[in-house]
Structure formats: C-alpha cells, structure tokens
Amino acid sequence: IDQEKLNQSKENWDAIAAKALCEICAEQTLEGNRPTAFLSTTGYKNLERDFFQRTRRNYTRRQFKNRWDAMKALYSAWKYYRGRCTGLGWDQATRTVTADEDWWQETINGNKLAEGFRKGPPDFIDELEVMFAGAHVDGKSSYVPGAGNEQVIIEDDNEGEEVLVTPTSQKSGSVNGKRVGSSGGGSPNKKKTPMQREFKRMVDHYTSDHGCVS
C-alpha cells in the first residue's frame, strides 16, 4: 500500500507531526490568520500546505481541527493549573509547582489533564501560548466531552464556517439556519465525534504514559 495513502487515511501525531503542527499554527496566528478562536480558511489552507512540506503527510482540515481542539483543551488545563499555583512555591528549572500530594489530587480532580504537569509544562508550550493567546481560554471553560451545557463547534465544510452552538440555540434546534443536535442528555449509545475521540486519546496518553510533557 502506498505510504501517502496510509497517511491520508489515519493521522499519526508523533513528535515530528506535533512539532510541525504547533510551529505552523503559531506562524499562522502571528500572520493574522486566526481572526477568532480558530484559524481562518486561509490559515487552514496554509497549514495543510506547510504541514505536507515539512512532514510529507496529507492530513485533512477535519483532522487538524480535531487536534487543534485537543491542544486547546490541554492549554486550558495548563492555565487552570497555573491559576491554582498562586501563592505556592515554583521550580523555575522544571516549571512545576512545589506542592503536596493533597494539592495535586484536588487539582487533578478539577481537570484530569493536570496530571501530566507533574513533570513540567506541555510540549511546545511557547507555541501554544501564541496559538491561544487572546482566545478566551481558561481552566473554567475547557471542553469536556459528555459534560452538560457545553459549547459545541459545528464546522460547515462547504463554506469553511464554524458555528458556535450554545445550550440556548440547541433548544431551538438551529443556528444560522443549520440544524443542530443536543450535546448532552442523549442516548448512552450515541456515537462519539472525532473531537471526542481525539480528546479521550490525549487524556489517556497524559494520565498513563506522560509522554507529551517535558
């Protein structure tokens, strides 16, 4: 089987791909191609082009968007963690807080991704700061799949438009003329979205292997 076809069928976010993605997204943000909380259509096109040039992998916009959402959740957890560090000791060398086990358990209970920060910040934290600065990311608003009353992003592939769905708009059943479904309280057999699966993979990775922290 041709390797490029394999790359197109399933993304592999190893260290090479993760580094390229964060660097390119940060570059596109600095170039003004993240006008809102997400990259613009131009930003995504440049991302697809540059990512292929650096990795020789063809990933789709949907795959990039799922990874973007997972990284945003990770950065949100980092902001939440840093907010809880106020008044505690800080090891500048490892960029971790000096705290006892009770503090850690309470922090992890608030956001499971904080478990990975025992060894330091997320990889590519400087790029993440650029990507999400000013995007209204904080620990209180992180997206947790399956939680009630969360906000959901519906992406219109034809127009490159992203629609923010709130609990109020979900009750009405439509946003800007687009039909939407409820994000909570549905059937327990409801199929998980790609973003939910990507988020779960990142949570499992951080809480078991700690492979993505410095």
Q: How far is CA 184 from CA 9, 25, 132, 147, in A?
A: 30, 30, 26, 7
Mean pLDDT of 178-187: 45
**Encoded tokens for 105:** 């358990």
Residue 28 DSSP label: H
**Encoded tokens for 36:** 């809102």
In this predicted structure, the answer to whether residue 211 has a pLDDT above a threshold of 50 is no
Q: For position 75, what pLDDT does the model report?
A: 94
Q: For position 76, what pLDDT does the model report?
A: 93
Query: Which of 34-48, 84-98, 114-128, 177-191 has the lowest average pLDDT?
Result: 177-191
**Encoded tokens for 81:** 């963690």
Give the pLDDT band of residue 205 (cuts 50, 70, 90). Answer: low
Q: Where are the domains of the chain?
A: 3-145+192-208, 146-191
Helix, strand, coil percent content, the chain, rounded in steps of 5: 50, 10, 35
What are the φ/ψ torsions at residue 172 (nearest 5 degrees)?
Answer: -75, -20
Neighbours of 112 (CB within 10 A): 14
Residue 182: helix, strand or coil by DSSP?
coil
Residue 181: helix, strand or coil by DSSP?
coil
As a whole number of angstroms, the distance between CA 100 and CA 142 comes to 25
Mean pLDDT of 98-117: 93
As a whole number of angstroms, the distance between CA 185 and CA 59 comes to 32
Identify the CA nearest to 75 among candidates 31, 15, 36, 131. 131
As a whole number of angstroms, the distance between CA 59 and CA 162 comes to 19
Cα 66-32-60 angle, rounded to 5 deg: 25
Q: For position 94, what pLDDT does the model report?
A: 83
Q: How far is CA 25 from CA 47, 50, 183, in A?
A: 7, 10, 28
pLDDT tens digits for range 156-181:
444 444 444 344 444 445 444 444 44
Read off the pTM: 0.60
Identify the CA nearest to 109 among candidates 91, 84, 90. 84
Q: For position 196, what pLDDT does the model report?
A: 58
Which residues, listed in sequence order, are joined to residue 90 by a DSSP beta bridge?
97
pLDDT tens digits for range 22-64:
999 999 999 999 998 889 999 999 999 999 999 999 999 999 9
As a whole number of angstroms, the distance between CA 57 and CA 53 comes to 8
Q: Which of the pair, 118 or 134, is modelled with greater confidence? A: 118
Mean pLDDT of 59-72: 94
